[in-house]
Amino acid sequence: MATTFEATTMAIYLSLNVEVVDDQRGADFLAIPLLSLAWLLVVGWWCQSQTAKFQRRYDDWLATWRLRLVLVSIGWRALAWGLAG
């Protein structure tokens, strides 16, 4: 009799078109696919965290340059107003 976990795992693998030839292998027959799935989850989490970190750094850099652009623009306007006035 399969446990709920085993039945759910089997349904997931069958939906992913993974062929199960022999389900009399014992409790360890899912160890390698589950380890692979765990590694995929870890790699996915790491990539997402690096992307978020890069986005924060890019936003900080962009905000700095936007501030510089605004200050230069104000400076040029003041200079032009002073020369024209």
The pLDDT of residue 31 is 66
Per-residue model confidence as pLDDT tens digits over 9-61: 767 666 665 555 555 555 556 666 777 888 888 888 998 889 988 888 888 88
The pLDDT of residue 37 is 82
- Which of 36, 11, 38 shows the shortest CA–CA distance to 23? 11
- Domain count of the fold of the chain: 1
Per-residue model confidence as pLDDT tens digits over 62-74: 888 888 888 888 8
Domain holding 20, by residue range, is: 4-84
Q: What angle do CA 34, 40, 46 make, to 5 degrees?
A: 140
pTM above 0.85, yes or no: no
